[in-house]
Amino acid sequence: MQDKCSFCGRNRNEVNLLIAGTDGFICDECASQAYDIVQEEMKSKSTLNLEHIEVKKPIEIKAFLDQYVIGQDEAKKHLAVAVYNHYKRLLHKAGNDEVEIEKSNIVMVGRTGTGKTLLARTIAKMLHVPFTIVDATVLTEAGYVGEDIESILTRLLQAADYDVEAAEKGIVFIDELDKIARKGDNPSITRDVSGEGVQQGLLKLLEGSIVNVPPQGGRKHPDQKMIPVNTKNILFICGGAFDGIEKKIAQRLNTHVVGYTASQTTARIDKNNMMINMLQFVPDEYSKISYAASIGKNSGFKDWFVEMLGELKDFDSVSVREKSAADIIKKYTGIDSQVVLDPTLMLTDEDWKALVHKEDNKSDKKPYIFTYFLGQDKANREFAEELSRKTSMKIINFAHAINYFRDEDKEFADEAVMDYSPKDFIDYIAGASVVITDSFHATVFSLIFHKPFYTLTRQSADGIKSMNSRVVDLLNTYGLSDRLIDAQEQVFDGNINDIDFSTFDNMINEQRKKSITFIKDSLLNHKGGNN
């Protein structure tokens, strides 16, 4: 009798390999299929362990997210709490006399590339529950074009290997949710292009209901066998850019107060200028004090800008931190504003000593040059490199948040600090031997800590060079205009310790007293009395 496979029945000469067992044989193809079946079964059992979902504390969920996502701390905190509450409610068996807690879903608002999808995917990885990502854009124009709402759950069923119980405890990330409200350019009488039908259908899904889902997706038809799925315990995480949401918020503010005083308390909101119009909500008995931090020549002086300055007439006192801003306000509004110190300079030496600790700053390290550039000027980096060569000091560069991944700012420095806190920023300046920057605040901190510094011109991506008017005003006021450098035109002379800070200290102390007096008087002499 010829040997043959006990599974498929093929003889030895019909297969590549025939493996002998105790009571039979198995060919190579049947063995390969058996292996795939075993792997699939073991995979589903290991990844979808829903009997005991381990719900970690919010702080532990946050720590887990930190391993995969850089930044977005606020989003991670809120997401951790929301996920914890959801699965804690899911695992809690409510008694007959207990209040049943309704489900809650999550909406993440942010621009493309901010990490919304990554956060949702990481959460699913931690919980070991079925997870799927769907795009709401295809649901926008329902009817003959696009997909039915139920196709969202079809994707979740596929991720759970059609285990309905597992799918009912899964996570669905609906991307581009804001596109549902989009209206098509060519409305048709044969299909719903407004998005309202889609919104209502999706709302039923999100709130929790039993939905009949076609197993293979696509359109429903009467003879098709459906799979009932209860969405009550499914966590829906929705994400979208929601471009223009500020205008929608402004529209919500254009409301009437219920009651007889409605006509008196109604306010109209300019959707294009929300900040100024918030003044209408300040009661008359309160004093309105304005502090205009920066009004530079680069503001363009468009009609809306001049109109905004005109709103200053409604304030009881107006103060600015540079003389150029006071001149602009005077020119366009006729208002005399008071020049006061920058809040950073309002702090005394004792205040700064309390913030910067000896053991925390970098003063005990080898001498170094601190650099911090907002612009993209190659000459500024070359200026720093030249100073480094002549002084034999290394360069420690702090990356600006907007230019976080800019390679050229990492390559020219001996040490690039990419993730830092405000305290780190201050500590590094306090411990530096010299500071090179094109930033106003880095310049201010250099003055505070009496550090030799050079403030350079700033070049934008399109090649336009500029010097911040705030910096020019500041250094001209204190006789330090020689520290304003155009790295393309000026050559470093090697002298970095020729700054006399005594004049600066005396002027600052005098201006600090005047600023404090002005602020106190503005707060006390308001319309409602001395409170």
Q: How does pLDDT run across 461-476, given as a tens digit for each residue?
A: 666 677 777 788 788 8
The DSSP secondary-structure symbol of 136 reads G
Is 24 in the same domain as 139? Answer: no
Looking at residue 271, what is its pLDDT?
45
**Is position 115 within any domain?**
yes
pLDDT value at 140 more than 60:
no
Which position has the higher pLDDT, 48 or 148? 148
Is 410 in the same domain as 468? Answer: yes
Is 75 in the same domain as 215? Answer: yes
Is 106 in the same domain as 231? Answer: yes
pLDDT value at 457 more than 60:
yes
Residues 6-22: what's their mean pLDDT?
A: 88
pLDDT value at 254 more than 70:
no
- Residue 127 sits in a domain whose CATH number is 3.40.50.300
Which position has the higher pLDDT, 504 or 42? 504
- Residue 358 sits in a domain whose CATH number is 3.40.50
Q: Which range has the worst mean pLDDT, 126-130, 254-258, 302-306, 477-481?
A: 254-258
Is 115 in the same domain as 192? Answer: yes
- Grouping H, G, I as helix, E, B as strand and the rest as coil, residue 454 is strand
Q: Is residue 435 very low, low, confident or very high in pLDDT (cuts 50, 70, 90)?
A: very high
Is 33 in the same domain as 134? Answer: no
Q: Which helix (H) or strand (E) holds 175?
A: strand 171-175
Is 454 in the same domain as 362? Answer: yes
**Is position 297 within any domain?**
no
pLDDT value at 312 more than 80:
no
Cα dist from 512 to 5, 257, 319, 323, 352, whole Å = 95, 45, 14, 16, 15
**Is position 342 within any domain?**
no
Q: Is residue 28 very low, low, confident or very high in pLDDT (cuts 50, 70, 90)?
A: very high
Residues 446-456: what's their mean pLDDT?
A: 88
Q: Kindly tell me the burial class for residue 46, based on how many C-beta atoms sit within 10 Å of its own C-beta (0-12, 13-18, 19 or more).
A: exposed
Q: Which of 221, 240, 259 is the last residue of a domain?
A: 240
Number of domains in the chain: 3
Is 42 in the same domain as 181? Answer: no
Q: Which range has the worst mean pLDDT, 78-87, 213-222, 342-351, 373-382?
A: 213-222
pLDDT value at 257 more than 70:
no
In degrees rounded to 5, what are phi and psi of residue 382? -65, -35
Cα dist from 98 to 36, 91, 94, 316, whole Å = 47, 15, 6, 56
Among candidates 216, 209, 208, which has minimal Cα distance to 148?
216
pLDDT value at 283 more than 70:
no
Which position has the higher pLDDT, 100 or 240? 240
* Tens digits of residue pLDDT in 473-519: 788 878 888 888 887 676 656 567 667 788 888 888 888 888 888 87
The sign of the CA dihedral 440, 442, 446, 451 is negative
Among candidates 396, 437, 440, which has minimal Cα distance to 420?
396
pLDDT value at 300 more than 80:
no
pLDDT value at 295 more than 70:
no
Residues 248-274: what's their mean pLDDT?
A: 50
Q: What is the DSSP string of 28-47?
A: HHHHHHHHHHHHHHHHHHHH
Is 20 in the same domain as 112? Answer: no
Q: Which of 240, 262, 294 is the last residue of a domain?
A: 240
**Is position 337 within any domain?**
no
* Tens digits of residue pLDDT in 56-69: 888 888 999 988 88
Is 425 in the same domain as 375? Answer: yes
**Is position 396 within any domain?**
yes
Q: Which of 214, 240, 266 is the last residue of a domain?
A: 240
Specify which of 27-31, 174-178, 201-205 reaches the highest per-range mean pLDDT: 27-31
Is 107 in the same domain as 195? Answer: yes
**Is position 413 within any domain?**
yes
Is 370 in the same domain as 480? Answer: yes
- Grouping H, G, I as helix, E, B as strand and the rest as coil, residue 210 is strand
Q: Quick check: 15 and 32 in contact, CB under 8 A? A: no
Question: For a pLDDT cut of 70, what percent of the chain falls above it?
Answer: 69
* Tens digits of residue pLDDT in 350-406: 777 777 754 444 445 688 999 988 877 788 888 888 888 888 899 998 887 655 556
**Cα–Cα distance, 387 to 491 (Å, whole number):** 10
**Is position 140 within any domain?**
yes
pLDDT value at 205 more than 50:
yes
**Is position 225 within any domain?**
yes
Domain ranges, residue 16:
12-47
Q: What is the DSSP string of 393-451?
A: -EEEEEPPSTTTT-HHHHHSSSEEE-S--HHHHHHHHHH-SEEEES-HHHHHHHHHTT-
